[in-house]
Every structure is written in structure tokens, then in C-alpha cells.
Amino acid sequence: MSALPPGVYRLDGTVRTYAWGSRSAIAGIQGRPVPSPEPEAELWLGAHPGAPSRIGGRPLDEIVASDPRGVLGPAVAAEFGPRLPYLMKLLAAEEPLSLQAHPDAEHARAAFAAEEAAGLPPELRNYRDPHHKPELLMATGDFEALCGFRAPEAAADLLDRIDVPALRPIAALLRGPDGLREAFTTALTLSPVARTALVAEVAAACAKLGGVDSAYEIAARLAVHYPDDAGVVVSLLLNHVRLAPGQAIWMPAGNPHAYLRGVGVEVMASGDNVLRGGLTAKRVDVPELLRVLRFESLETPVMSPEPVAPGVVRWSPPVREFELTRATLTLGTPRVELVSDGPRVLLCVSGAITAGRGENALTLTAGTAAFVPAGVPTLPLT
């Protein structure tokens, strides 16, 4: 018998208390007292060994490892081995996150192996595992982010409007043949004295221009949190994205991004490799970040879903590890059916639903989750 026979199982996630998190968003969704004692940034739902969710008190990563074919299904186990290949998070950002990007799968494998061979201690490592970490985030409320490079000419025009002479060389680089790479690299590798002076000038100028373009307002806001950080300048090179509830952004390997504020459901390949360039107190490695970045403009950061059935839409990014499905139950659509041949994580973000049928049915309320192992091809929600 499988370690987890086909059915619907309550999944108890782990809340991560990072400094940029909200004291009200996750607690409020789950119906807990607000404010929470600490900033709550992410609710992890999955089998990542850093904070595995639990079923009946048992860690999900142990359950998967004990019977990967039964829990994941033969095809998923054959492709990814004895591990759930994705991780879901409920994310709540009260303050900006780091400027970051993730490596592709080939680079992650090679870099992890090199750090393992060198015997680097954890505090000097960039790579925690040999996996990539492409991400998709769907907003559940209003959400703001920086995602992907602007077109170089558009970024240069933004810089030109700021009356800061030290920005002119960076704007000129943007109009050159390899503009994004050269401008981004120059901004992040300034000497400490030059960086401090430039950030102060840019922050002051952007505070005056906030009503002209949202990019200026964001740079001024970032400078309040990080007054000596080149990420304030770099933010002007990135797309500013405002998501309404139900909209999503896709962040493939090498895509620079930084969440600014808001609540959303994030799904990613189950890796933990993050290269940071600023806007953080965590480890920053600019040379390694430059190695993984893709210096190409991203015209449309927002990814549209495909309709599946009444009340059901799906985002299918170009990776094998995951898809994200959103099901909305209304009086007009009181029941939907989700079809999949792999393992699923369910998260109820508002109201209540019942997943499954008969003795295997489980009712979820806002902020609660379930795990459905392989072997349940059609899952009704009511």
C-alpha cells in the first residue's frame, strides 16, 4: 500500500517570519489575532527540506521519500526523483524584498557541484542545492513588483529626466550596443563613496518627481529603506508592475525582480538558489548575479492564464515542475472539477470549499491547505 493512499489530506504549512513580512495579512486570512507577534512573510506549502509541511504531524518530504511512485505518481517520480518538484507559498510583503535573480538548471547544477567540491561553509555559499527556481506569482490583492528589464531606450529616458549629472554616463551606456548589461553593471559596481553620493542625489530628485512617473516614486521609497544601496538606482532600469487580484507575473531564470508590497500565491520549482544584488541585509554577490542575469528587456511581465472550464483558469509556464490553477466558486458555478495526473497542493484563500467526495472529502477554510497525492485524476470542489 502507498504511504499516502489516494485522497485529500490536510496540509499544515510553516510560516516564515522574515523582516519584510506583514503582521496582519497571513494572520488575517487564517483568522488568527492581528497583529501577529512577528512579521509573517511566507506560508510554505510543500516538501522543501528547509520547512516541510506536515500531514498528521509527519513531514511531507519524509512521506514522499518513503514512497515516491505512490505519492508522486510513476511519471513524476521518474523525472524528478523522490522529491516534490514544486513549492507553493502564500506571500505577504509589507516592505520591499531584495533585488534578485535565479540561475537556470544547468548553471545551478554546475555551481552547486563546484561549491561542494571546494568545501565552502554555508555562510559563503550562493548555492544550497542543484536545482533551478523559476517562479510564478498570482496576486490575491493589489500587488506591486519590479520585474524584468525595461527597454533600454525607455530606461535611458527615465534617467535623463532626473537632474543628476552622475546619471548621464549610465543613460549613455543604455543607448549603446550592450546597454542593459553595461548600465546595470556600472550601477552595481560603483565605489562606496560614489554609490553613497549617487543614491542620495537620485533619492532626493525622485522624491520631487514622484507624480511624474511611478518609477521615481518607487526609487524614493526604496531609498527610505536602503539609503546607501545601488538597488535604488537599478530600480529605474526595471519594469514597475501593478497586479490586480487574479493577475500573475512569470519570473524565469535570469530575470531580475523584486517584490515591493502586497499578498499573493507564489509557486516555484523547489530550489533555494537566490543571487542578490541589493535591497537586502542578506548575502549579496554582484559578480555571481551578473553571471546568471539575462540582459534582455521584458515587454510583458504579466502572464495571462488560459480558461479551462467555467470558474477555472490555469497558468502553464514553460517549465515541467508546476502549473497554477485558480478555481472560483460562485452561485453560478457551485462546483468545479480539477483534472491532473500528478500530486497537488490546494490552498483556500477566501471563503470555504470542500475538496473530494464521500469519505475522502475535506473542507478547507481561508488560509488552510490540503495535499492530494497522485491517483486522484479528477478532484471535485464544491
Q: Is 135 annotated as a binding residue?
A: yes
- Cα 133 from Cα 252, distance rounded (Å): 8
From residue 227, alpha-carbon distances to 278, 343, 378 in Å are: 11, 45, 52
Grid cell, residue 339, equals: 483534472
From residue 185, alpha-carbon distances to 36, 117, 188, 344 in Å are: 40, 29, 5, 41
- Cα 237 from Cα 161, distance rounded (Å): 13
Q: 184 — phi, psi (to 5°)?
A: -60, -45
Paired with 264 in beta bridges are 91, 139
3-state secondary structure labels for all residues of 63-125: HHHHCHHHHHCHHHHHHHCCCCCEEEEEEEECCCCCEEECCCHHHHHHHHHHHHHHCCCHHHC
Q: Is 102 annotated as a binding residue?
A: yes
Q: 326 — phi, psi (to 5°)?
A: -115, 125
Told to judge if 276 belongs to the known catalytic residues of this protein, a careful annotator would answer yes
Phi-psi category of residue 302: left, alpha or beta, with phi > 0 → left and psi -120 to 50 → alpha: beta
Cell match 538548471: residue? 105
- Given 10, 276, 320, 344, the catalytic residue: 276
Binding residues for Zn(2+): 100, 102, 135, 257
Catalytic residues, by residue number, are 276
Binding residues: 100, 102, 135, 257
